[in-house]
A and B are shown apart, each in its own frame.
Chain A
Amino acid sequence: MSQAASKRKDICFSYTVEDGADVFEQKSRCLHDATPPCIAACPIEMPIRSILSKLESGDVDRAALEFLDKAVLPATIAQFCEGYCENACVRTRLDEPIKMRELELFLYKGGYELPKKRPLPINKGKRICIVGISIVGLTCALLMLRKGYSVDLIEPSENLESAHDELSSISKDIFRLGVLEDYRLLQSYDHFFATFGKSFDFKNTVNYEAILLPHDHALPSGEPSDKQDNADYEDSLFKAIQQEGTLLVYIKDVNDVVEQIALGKEISKTIDQFAKHKIIIAPRTRESISAQFPISDQVKKEYSAVVPPITMLEVASEEAGRCLQCNCDLCMNACTLMKQGRMDPPYYIVEAQQSLKTQRRLHDKLNIRRVCGCNQCGLCREICPTDVDMGSVYRRSREIMQATNEMPEVFYDFWLRDLADNEEHAFVMTPDSRETVKYLYFPGCHLGSSNPNYVLQSYRYLLDQFDQDVAIDIHCCGAEAIWAGKQDMACGISNRFLDSWKSLGHPIVITACSSCRKYLSAISDAIHTISLWEVLDSNLFLPDEKSHREGTLTLFDPCSSRYFPQEQQAVRSLLEKSGVEFADFPGVPDHALCCGFGGLIYPANPKLFFEILQDRTSQSDLPYLTYCANCNDAFLWWGKDCNHLMDLLFDMESKKHFSHAKDISDRRKNRRALRRSIREDIFMGADSETIESHESIHLILTEEMRRKMMSQLILDSDIQRVIEQAERFNNRVSRNGFFVSYLMIGAVTVWVEYSVIDENTFDVRNVYSHRMKITGDQQHVG
C-alpha cells in the first residue's frame, strides 16, 4: 500500500486495537528520552550527551568525573576505544561526527581523580578473588572495590609487567599505556591485595563471595570448565557456577577492549547481586536504536569540526558544542498544542491514557482542554519518525467521553446542531433525473455556506466540462461528527453516503475540500476521489481575468491536503498558469498546518484556538491564499487579508445577490440560498423551503454585537426565537424602557436585551449567554 493510502486507511473509524495497549505501544515508540544512537552503540553506555553538555558550558570538572566514573579504566578507554559512538553519531548526516575520543583524551589528561565514596557497610569484609590480570578482571575488581568489597588478585606471572605475556587478546601498547596505567587505580585502595608468582588453588580458598577465572582454568574438581554441563548461568560471554556459597565465574574471550570493560561491569553486577541475595540475575541486554534519529531544526549547525589534538578548553568546548544533544522533539516543535503544554511527548500519551479509561477513579486527572484542543490535523503522526499518532489517541478519547456522558454538552453542541441543520436540508440531485452518473460533485457543507457562488460557479463548470454527467451532493462528510467523538452519528453519515454513492453507480467523487476528501476516502477503498483543482488543472482551465489578484500571496495548504500531494501540486500548477505569484507558507517547512478550526476546538479550548490563529496569521505579512473554506473564513474572521482559491478562478461578481459570509448567521443564510439556487437555477425546479415564524422578525444589530454573537456562537435566528417567545407570551422583564428575556437553545441559555421599534422590528441592545441551567423552570426552554 502506498504511503498516502496507508495513512488514509486508519484515519477515522478503524481504531480496532485494544485502546490502552495501543497507547502504551505508541509510547514505547516515542523517541523522546529514548537512548540516542551514540549511547546505544557504546558497550559501556557512556553518558555522552551529558558529558558533552557539561563540557560545552565549560564545566570540565564535572564532565571529567562523569567520564572517569563510567569508563572505570579511563586510560584504556581514552586511548584505545575504537569509537563506536563516532560511527553512530547523528551529526555525521550534517558534517562530521563528534570527535568523542579526542574529547575523552582531553578529559583524561586533565589529571582528575574520582573521589572515593564511602563503602557500604554491608559489603565490609566481603571478599572477591580475581585470578589473572585481564581487562575484564581489573574492571570487575575496581567496581567491587568502589562498593567496599575486598579484592585479592592472584597472578601467576612473577610481576606485573610480565603478566602481559599471558594476555594474548590485547596488544603490548594497550597493556603498557592502558592497563598498567589503570592498574594504579586499584593500588589506591587499601583493601586491594595482589599476589604474584602463585597459581590459584581451590583448596586454599578463603571464604570468597566470588572468584573470577579465565575460561580455561580448571573446575574445583580438576576438570576443564567446559566440561561443566549444568552451569547456574551461562551465556556467550561468561559462565557462573555456584559452589558451596561461592560464585565461580569463568570469563570467555572477548576481542574488543571496550567490550571487555563492559563485560567486567556486567560481571561485577552479577557478583554484587549474588553476594547480597545468593541468586544469579542475568544481565539485561543492551537496547538498540533502529529508527532514524531525527535532527531537530532547532539545533545549532554552524560549528565545524576541530582539528585534533584537542589541548585547550575553548577548543574542547567548541567541539562538544557540535553535539546535537539528540533528543527527538519534532512533534513538540511542530504542534502548537504540544508546545503549549510544555511537557515531554511521552507524558502526553500517559495523560491521554486517563481519558481512554472507561472507568476512571477519582484521582485520575483528565485534561479535557487538551483532549478537546487537538485539531485532528495529522501533523504529529506525519512528522514522527516512528509514527506515534497523538491525534488518534485524542479522537478516541472524545469518543469514549461521549459514550460515557462525560463530555460537556456545550463543547460540540453548536456544531452538531449546525450539522443537523445542514443535513435536514441537504439533498443529492442528478441532471435530468438520470439514475447513475460518472461524476459526483461533493463540495462539502461549508464551501457553499461561506459563499454560494463557490459551489454554483464550480458546479456549472463541471456540468459543462463533463456533459451534464455530474450529480451534486450537499450533505456533510461527517468530519464534525468524528471530531466531536460522535461515532454513531459519523457512521450514520458515512453509511448514507455509501448507499447514495452505490445507487448513483459508483461515480468518481470530485471534492472541493481536502478534509471531506480525507473522510470520504476512508469510508471505502472503492471510492475514488479527485479534487476539483486537479480536474481544473488537467482540463486546462483558464481563470476569469477579472479575478486575477496582483502581488505575491502566501499559499496556505489546508491540513488535510497533506494526504493528497497531487492536490497540492495541482493548486500550484493552476496558480502558475494563471500568473499568480505565490510563496509557500513558512510555518513548518514541507508540512501543511491546521488553521485552528479543525477538530472543533472552539469553544472547547478557546485559548488555544486564538493562539493558533494568531500564530498562523502572523507568519507572513503578505495576503494569504487557501483552498479550504474553513481556513479562509477563520483567517478572515481574525482580520487577515485572505482569499479562497475560488475567488481567483471564477468570477464572483457576476451573481451580485450572493455575498461572502461574515459570520455564522450569514453562513446559515447562504446555505439556504445555495439550496434554493441549485434547485431553481440549475435544475429548474421549485424550492419548497418554509419560512419559520421567528424568521419574520427584523433585528437591528451593530457590528460589535455581531462579533459578540459570533464569539459565543449565537445565531440571528437564536435571537429571533428569544424575542418571538418573549413578545408572544410576555415572558420578559423590563427596565428603563427596554426588555430582557431568555431562552434555552441547545446547551446554552441565551439572554437578549432589546427595545421595540415596531411590530416586527427590534433593536438588540445586548446579547449574552451562559451554560448553567436555571433549575425547576420549564417555561423558558426553546
Chain B
Amino acid sequence: MSDNPSIKSPLFCERCKQELELKEVRLEYLGNTFSHIFPQCPTCHFVYISEEIVESKIKEVEMLLEEK
C-alpha cells in the first residue's frame, strides 16, 4: 500500500485536544491483517481513515479477499 495523500490541514482529536500523528495501524478482514500508515491520536488512539484511501485501496483488497 502506498502512503497517505498529503493532508490539507491538520486533523485534531477533540477528546484529547491534540493533533493526530502518522502511525502504523493494523487492519483486519476475513482473517487477514494489513498494516498501513494512518493519522492516529497518540493518546486515545483514534484512527482516521479517509474516504480516498477507502475508495483507492481498501475496497479493492476487500473484494479480492472475499473471492479468495
Contact = CB atoms under 8 A, between A and B. Distances in A.
Contact of B58 (A736, A742, A770, A779): A770
A772 B51 contact: no
Contacts of A774: 25-27, 47, 49
A768 B9 contact: no
Q: How many interface residues does chain B have, given as a range?
A: 20 to 34
Nearest to B53: A770
B16 to A, nearest CB: 9
Nearest to B47: A774
Contacts of A731: 15, 46
Contact of A768 (B27, B28, B33, B54): B54
Contact of A734 (B8, B14, B67): B14
B3 interface: no
A636 interface: no
A779 B44 CA distance: 9
Contacts of A776: 26, 45
Given A731-B46, A733-B20, A773 B28 contact: yes
Given A770-B58, A772-B58, A734 B12 contact: yes
A736 B15 CA distance: 16
A775 B27 contact: yes
A408 B30 CA distance: 7
A735 interface: yes
B22 interface: no
B15 A730 contact: yes
B49 A751 contact: yes
B27 A733 contact: no
Interface string B38-68: 0001001111110100110011011001110
Given A369-B67, A735-B9, A777 B45 contact: yes
A770 B14 contact: no
Contact of A735 (B11, B45, B49, B61): B11
A732 B29 contact: no
A767 B37 CA distance: 22
A368 B27 CA distance: 23
A774 B61 CA distance: 15
Interface string A188-223: 000000000000000000000000000000000000
A742 B47 CA distance: 9
A735 B34 CA distance: 26
B33 A775 contact: yes
Contacts of B8: 735-736
Contact of B29 (A740, A773, A777, A780): A773
A378 to B, nearest CB: 26
A739 B47 contact: no
Contacts of B54: 751, 768-770
B52 to A, nearest CB: 10
Contacts of B45: 776-777
A368 B28 contact: no
Contacts of A732: 14-15
A771 interface: yes
B10 interface: yes
Given A735-B11, A770-B58, A775 B26 contact: yes
B48 A408 contact: no
Interface in A558-579: none
A430 interface: no
Contacts of A411: 66
Contacts of A347: none
Nearest to B67: A368
Pick from B12, B41, B65 the residue with the most CB of A within 10 Å: B12
A397 to B, nearest CB: 15
A772 B29 contact: yes
B67 A733 contact: no
Contacts of A730: 14-15
Interface in A228-284: none
B28 A772 contact: yes
Given A730-B14, A768-B54, A774-B49, 19 more contacts: A367-B67, A368-B66, A408-B30, A729-B15, A730-B15, A732-B15, A733-B11, A733-B48, A734-B14, A739-B14, A740-B11, A742-B49, A751-B51, A766-B51, A770-B62, A772-B61, A774-B25, A775-B27, A776-B26
20 contacts: A367-B67, A368-B67, A729-B15, A732-B14, A733-B12, A736-B9, A739-B14, A751-B49, A751-B51, A751-B54, A768-B54, A770-B59, A771-B29, A772-B34, A772-B58, A774-B26, A774-B27, A775-B26, A775-B33, A776-B45
